[in-house]
Amino acid sequence: MSRLVFITQQVDPGHPALAATVPKIRALAARVDEVVVLADRTVAGTLPDNCRSLSFAARTRAGRGARFESLLARELVPRPVAVIAHMCPIYAVLAAPLVRPLRVPLLLWYTHWARSWTLDAAARAATAIVSVDRRSFPIDSRKVVPIGHGIDLAEFPCSDRSKATGDFRLVALGRYSRAKGLETILRGVQLSLERGLDVRLECFGPALNAAEREHRGELERLVAELGLEKRVRLGHAVLRSEVPDVLARAGALVNNMEAGAPDKVVYEAASSCLPVVVSNPVFDELTGGLEAELMFARDDPADLAERIGALASLPPDARATVGRALHDRVAEHHSVEHWADAVLEVARR
């Protein structure tokens, strides 16, 4: 019997930041006999029948740690194919003393620019590190295996934009974090308007902590300062189920995420055949051959305005062709099926 142990924060298809975990677990479950999910919380009825969910929730950090260790120890017999620590390095650190002596592969999935002592420890503890790209893991390690992002193409189907008319609508999705570089995007929209482009911008995302709420306030003041009140909407988070509709009514997604972390929303937009305008160098694999049209310098609003103007000037059918090319690259290298196959291949090495 083939089993996986998958450790994550929450399993919730409606969570604004963690919902994409669900199709990953489902894809793994389709390839093994059983997946045991250890999480703080799992929404009932979310996972396939061959998944068991165990909660390590407790009132204190020490209590969570103790419960985590107890549950994991129980699930290592019979021996699983692998233990996968999803995004939280501390899970790999806590799991290693139980997992490594049994020679069970311990995989860390991590894609972020932030480096910490916990991540350093997790990198040493893990058998292998799986990430979108070698550049999406902030430590130079021979353990890193690039496997793509794991996008559910069925969740983000291709939309037909070949006959789009009217203003050019941009969308930005994600948390109101300074790492998203939204100030540059707002200034790029202002420059586009000054150059005569009929452009609008919609931003949707949560502000999950005090710093993000403060930054959202700063952006609201910048919108007023730049006179963009009628052209820019700073919206709140949308449900995961609403994202495909948000992407379908846009002409392009703009993303200015800090270098090193390939934002999954870019791949989701590309899956839906939406052109993307991006600054992160990691996306050169996705935009291969289209860098001049789709990539801009991160802190350069003028360069962003040039890219927006060039894309908006294309006939709708030409923009649709760009979107279809991006969709095909996601399907080949970043589908959730490709991701799950790669995880198992790494584990079985």
Per-residue pLDDT averaged across 133-147, rounded? 95
- Tell me the CA distances in angstroms from 176 to 22, 111, 183, 210, 257, one per residue in order: 23, 19, 11, 11, 11
The answer to whether the CB of 10 falls within 8 A of the CB of 42 is yes
3-state secondary structure of 43: coil
> Phi first, then psi: what are they for 344, rounded to 5°?
-70, -35
Helical (H) or strand (E) element with 63: helix 61-74
The Cα–Cα gap between 53 and 42 comes to 7
Checking if the pLDDT of 18 tops 90, the result is no
User: 284: buried, middle or exposed (CB in 10 Å: 19+, 13-18, 0-12)?
Assistant: middle
CATH number of 168-333: 3.40.50.2000
Q: Check if the beta carbon of residue 36 is closer than 8 Å to that of residue 52.
A: yes
Q: Mean pLDDT across the stretch 35-52?
A: 94
Indicate the CATH number for domain 3-150+336-348: 3.40.50.2000
pLDDT digits (tens, 9 = 90+) for 77-117: 999 999 999 999 999 999 999 999 999 999 999 998 888 99
- The answer to whether the 3-150+336-348 and 168-333 domains have the same CATH topology is yes
What residues have CB less than 8 Å from 347, skipping those under 6 apart?
4, 81, 82, 84, 105, 107, 128
Q: Do β-strands 144-146 and 106-109 pair in parallel, antiparallel, or remain unpaired? A: unpaired
Instruction: Give the sign of the dihedral formed by CA 338, CA 15, CA 276, CA 272.
Output: positive
Q: What pLDDT, on the 0 to 100 scale, is given for residue 163? A: 67
According to the model, what pLDDT value does residue 17 have? 72
pLDDT band per the 50, 70, 90 thresholds, residue 165: low
**pLDDT tens, 252-283?**
999 999 877 789 999 999 999 999 999 999 99
- pLDDT-derived band at 127 (thresholds 50, 70, 90) equals very high
What separation in angstroms does the CA of 271 have from each of 103, 205, 266, 314, 329?
38, 20, 9, 20, 8
Where exactly are the structural domains of the chain? Answer: 3-150+336-348, 168-333
